[in-house]
Amino acid sequence: MELREFAETVLFATTLEEKLRCPAQLTDEHPGPALVTPEAPGRPATLQFKVTGTARDNFPGTRQLEKQSERGRLLHFFANHELLATELMALVLLKFPDAPAAFRKGVLQTLKDEQEHTRLYLERMKSCGIEFGELPVSGYFWRCVAPMEHPIDYVAGLCLTFEQANLDFARHFARTFDEIGDGDTAKLLEKIYRDEIGHVAYGLKWFRRWKNPSESDWEAFCHTLKFPLSPQRAKGFALNVEGRRAAGLDPHFIAELNVYSQSKGRTPTVFVFNPFAEGRIAEGKTFNPTKHQAQLARDLENLPQFLCRQDDIVLVERRPTVEFLSEIKRAGFSLPEFVELSSVGARRRAKHQPQHFDEPRRAAAGSATTAALQNLKERKLGGLRPWAWGPDSLELLSPLFASLTDSKRNAEQCFNERIAGLYSKAWSANFLRRLLSEKSAIGHRPSAIPNWLCSEQEVGEAVVSLEAALAAIAAIRARGHHKIIVKEALGLAGSNAMRLFEPEILPTHRRWMEKACARGRELVVEPWLERVADFSAQLEMTTDGLKLCGYTGLLTDAKGQFLGNWAAPKFERRIPPQIVERFREPPDIATRLHDLFAEIFSRLETELRAVGFLGPLGIDAFVYRDAAGAVRLKPIVEINPRYTMGRVTVGLMKHVAPGSHGMFRLLNLAQVRAASCADFFSYAKSLADMSPLQREGDPVARIREGTICLNDPTRAGAVLATFCVSRSAPRP
C-alpha cells in the first residue's frame, strides 16, 4: 500500500478498526499533491469533538483513581490524545508530500507507535468498564496543530509541546497507578513514557534542522509556537528533568521551561509597573524622571509579579533571568507570564515562515511595544492593572481595552480628571480635616478630639501662592510648631518637599515655593511632627465596596522617605501590635483604633464611588509625640490611589507561615557596601548563606524564616528589594 492511501485511511476513516490498522508493507513512491486541512478528522459518531467552549473536564485526583470508574475516565482522556496524535501525523504526511523522505519515514514510525498506544489504552479502559466514546472528547490538539504551515510547526506543536508534556504526565500517572495497586496500567504508562522520550528526540532533531541557527532551541521554540500554544503546554504537574535530558533537550531549554508561565484557560490580567504616574499628572509629557529614578524603575519593574496570579501577565522592558526566576519558584512563589516591551524582545519575537523545508527560519526586527501589544490584542484579557492609572498607563494600555472580556469599563472610566484629583496631597489633607471636624463621626465627645488623635491644626493647609504659603507658615508657628514641611501636592515618593527647620525662612526656601507656585503647583503646608512609628492600610475599591487587604508597618528615614514595609501575623484584619502598644491609654485603644479606621474606610468608599474609582489604594498614617511628650495618631498622611510597596508586602505575606513576620526593604548600593559587599550580587549571595529560606506546612509549604531577593541582583543598578521572614517581631 502507498503511504498516501494509508494516511488518508487513518485521517478520514469513520471506524476505529480502520484508523488503527497498519499494513506490513508501505511504499512512498507517489505522495501526491498537498492536502488542504479538513475541518476535522473522520471519526465514529461517538468520538466527534465536543463543541468548543464546553466545560473542560479535569484529571481525576490520586484518591479518585482508587475508583475503577475514575481510572477508566482518565484512560479515556489519554486514549483520545493518542488517537488525535495518530490523526495529526496522518495529516502531516498528506499536507507536506515534499518533506524530506527521512522525516516522512520517522512520522510513519511514530504514527504506528500512537496506533499501538491507542489500542493498549482501549484494552485497559474496558477492564475499568469504560467504552471509548462513552465520554465527550476534546479536539484541542487538532485545533492547535492542524493549521500548521510548515513541518517545523508540527514538530514544535506536537512533538515538543504535547508529547513533551507527556514526559511529565506519563511518568506521574505511572507512579500513581503503581501506588494504588494497578500494576498493569502502571506498566503501560511506563512503556508510553519510554516511547515519548524517543518521539521528543525525533522532533527535536528536525526542529534543530529547520530553526534559525542564530537562535537557541528555547528562543526558536517560543517563536515557532502560535497562540494558543505556548511553552506552558509543554509541561505537566511537575517538570521531569530526567526524561527531557534523555530526549536531548539542553539544560538551558529545561531551565527556561521550568520558569515559563502562560495561562492555559483563565483570561489573564495585565500588570505593569509605572511609578511615574504622579509626575505625568503634575507635569504632563514634559515630565522626565532623573537618571536615578529611571534606573530604579528598571530595577523594580518585575515587582507586580508578587501582586498577580500565575496565569496573569507582567509587562516588562526585559524579562528577569531564568536563574532569578528559578530561585523565586523554589521559594514557593508562582510565576506569571512576562511580556517584553523592549526592542530586544521585539527582535526575538519577530519571525517569518521559511519558503522551503530545508531553509532555516530567520528572525526579523519589528517595533517593540507595538508588536508586544498587538500579540496581546489577539488574546482575551481579564483586566488591566497598572501600578497607577495615569496618563502614561492610559497611553500604554489603551489598545488592550478592546480585548477585555468585561467591556463595561473603558479608558475614560479608569482615569479622568476626577480620579487625577485623588493623587493630590491637598485632597488627602482636606479629607482628614472634614473627618476631624465632624467629631461625632469618629465616636468622641462633640466638645473635644480624643487626646490620642491629632487635631485639625495639625492637618496640612493647601495654598496656591507664595503669600498664602508664608501666611500658613506664620500661623502654624504662632501655634507653637516651629518645624514645618512644605510639599507639592503632586510629587514622587517623598520628593518635591522642603523642610523648614531654621528660625527664619531662607532665600532658598522662598525661591523654591515661589517657583513651584509660578508653575501652577498647589502646596501643602503642615507642621513637622516627631514620628514614633509609621504604618499603612492597604485597600481595594471594588464594585461591591472598599475592602481591607491588610495593615503594614512603614520604615522611613529621618526625612520621612520610604525605606520599607513590615507586617505582623494577622495583618489582614488588625493594626500591628507594635503600633497599638505605643499608646499607653485608653485601655481599649485597640478597639478605638479599629473603629476609627472602619469609619475612615466607610467615608472614603463614598468619596471613591462619587468619582468612579476602582482599584488598589493605600492610606499612610503615623504615631507621633507632641510637644508635651504625649503619643498621638495622625490617621491620614497621604491617600495613594494606586499600588504601593505596602500592598506588595501584603502579597508577599500570603506566602509566609502562620506566626512569622515579614520585612520588605529597598536597599541602595551604599547600604550594601556598608554590609561589606561590593555589589548587589555579592550581597544576595551573602543573604543566601546567612539567612537561607526555611519552609513549613502541608499541603502548601510557606516561608517560616529566611530572606529572598525580589528583583534580579545580577541586573540591579540602583536598588535591591528583599523580603526577610522571621519568627520575631521587627523593631519599627
Average pLDDT, the chain: 91
Write the pLDDT tens digit of every residue in 222-279: 999 998 899 999 999 899 999 999 999 999 999 999 999 988 778 999 999 999 999 9
105, 264, 300, 360, 554 from 560: Cα distances, Å: 72, 45, 21, 59, 10
Q: What is the pLDDT of residues 387-443, one digit of tens each?
A: 999 999 999 999 999 999 876 788 999 999 999 999 999 999 999 999 998 855 555
Does residue 649 carry a pLDDT above 90? yes
**For the chain, which residues make up each domain, given as ranges?**
3-20+67-259, 269-411, 422-643, 655-732
DSSP code of residue 21: -
According to CATH, the topology of domain 422-643 is D-amino Acid Aminotransferase; Chain A, domain 1 (3.30.470)
According to the model, what pLDDT value does residue 237 have?
Answer: 87
CATH number of 3-20+67-259: 1.20.1260.10
110-148 confidence digits (pLDDT tens): 999 999 999 999 999 999 999 999 999 999 999 999 999
Helix, strand and coil percent figures for the chain, each rounded to 5: 45, 15, 40
Mean pLDDT value across residues 35-64: 84
Where b means 16+ CB within 10 Å and e means fewer, 353-390 reads ebeebeebbebeeeebbebbbeebeebebbbbbbbbbb
What does residue 384 show for φ and ψ, rounded to 5 degrees? -120, 125
Q: What is the helix (H) or strand (E) element at residue 719, kind and residue range?
A: strand 719-726
DSSP letters, 168-184, are HHHHHHHHHHHHTT-HH
Q: What is the mean pLDDT of residues 473-479?
A: 94
pLDDT at 357: 56
pLDDT tens column, 528-554: 999 999 999 999 999 999 999 999 999
pLDDT score for 360: 53
Read off the pLDDT of each residue in 292-317 and give the average, rounded to a whole number: 95
Residue 729's pLDDT is what?
84
Q: Which residues contact 55 (CB under 8 A, 6 or more apart)?
A: none
Chain-centre distance for alpha carbon 395: 21
Please give the helix or strand (H or E) that residue 593 lies within, else none: helix 589-611
Indicate whether 53 pLDDT > 70: no
Give CA–CA dist 352/152, Å, rounded.
Answer: 12
* 3-20+67-259 and 422-643, same CATH topology: no
Model confidence over 664-719: pLDDT tens digits? Answer: 999 999 999 999 999 999 999 999 999 999 999 988 899 999 999 999 999 999 99
Q: What is the mean pLDDT of residues 272-296?
A: 93
How many other C-beta atoms are found inside a 10 Å radius of the C-beta of residue 52?
9
From edge to edge, which strands make up the β-sheet containing 313-316?
A: 337-340, 313-316, 269-272, 383-386
The percentage of residues in the chain with a pLDDT greater than 70, rounded to a whole number, is 93
Cα distance between residue 495 and residue 473, in whole Å: 20
Task: Indicate the pTM of the whole model.
Answer: 0.86
